[in-house]
């Protein structure tokens, strides 16, 4: 993340504009057994995003991190099935059962969709979000409340 941001920031700085979007998980704020690697990595991405915003803001570059909860549609087509399987098995559940439980634990009683995450990314990268930088966009459907 840092190397990529550093590389693109050079080009954005020449234009005095740009947006760097990073991606985190609710693990950034969750303690618990079995989450150590994910939690530390996600927290680091969020901290790096805030600090990059401070470093790059004067050059007209915004940095925003997105923190979606689990995305059920992604389980069928991405590496997340392999990530979620051991967690579900430790809990004695199938992946679908685990995701249903995760959805039940949100204020909206559902998980975010790929479209919602993509549309949020488009908005955050647009001029309509020109005042947003140095923050984490919480797409957890109310699992975490900021």
User: Which residues of 10-118 form beta strands (DSSP E)?
Assistant: 18-23, 61-68
Continuous segment of H or E residues that includes residue 128: none
Residue pair 66/25 in contact by the 8 Å Cβ criterion = no
What is the mean pLDDT of the segment spanning 104-125?
A: 97
Q: Specify the pLDDT at position 84.
A: 83
Q: Is the pTM of this model over 0.85?
A: yes
Q: Is the pLDDT of residue 124 over 90?
A: yes
Residue pair 46/28 in contact by the 8 Å Cβ criterion = yes
The upper half-sphere exposure of residue 30, i.e. CA atoms within 13 Å in the direction of its Cβ, equals 17
Q: Is the pLDDT of residue 41 over 90?
A: yes
Q: Specify the pLDDT at position 116.
A: 98
Q: Specify the pLDDT at position 146.
A: 84
Of the segments 75-89, 90-104, 109-123, which one has the largest average pLDDT value?
109-123
- Beta-carbon count within 10 A of 133 CB: 20
What is the mean pLDDT of the segment spanning 46-52?
A: 98
Confidence of residue 145 (pLDDT cuts 50, 70, 90): very high
Q: Is the pLDDT of residue 32 over 90?
A: no
Q: Specify the pLDDT at position 55.
A: 97
Q: Specify the pLDDT at position 87.
A: 82
Q: Is the pLDDT of residue 30 over 90?
A: no
d(CA 102, CA 141): 10
Q: Is the pLDDT of residue 100 over 90?
A: yes
Residue listed under structure tokens 């923190």 = 67
């Amino acid at each position: 993340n840092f190397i990529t941001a550093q590389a693109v920031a050079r080009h954005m700085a020449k234009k005095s504009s740009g947006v760097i979007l990073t991606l985190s998980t609710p693990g950034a704020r969750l303690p618990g057994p079995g989450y150590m690697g994910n939690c530390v990595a996600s927290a680091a991405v969020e901290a790096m995003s805030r600090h990059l915003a401070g470093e790059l803001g004067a050059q007209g570059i915004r940095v925003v991190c997105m923190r979606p909860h689990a995305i059920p549609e992604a389980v069928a087509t991405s590496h997340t099935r392999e990530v979620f399987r051991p967690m579900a098995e430790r809990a004695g559940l199938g992946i679908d059962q685990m995701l249903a439980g995760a959805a039940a634990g949100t204020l909206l009683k559902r998980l975010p969709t790929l479209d919602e995450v993509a549309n949020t990314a488009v908005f955050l990268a647009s001029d309509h979000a020109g005042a947003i930088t140095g923050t984490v966009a919480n797409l957890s459907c109310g699992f975490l409340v900021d």
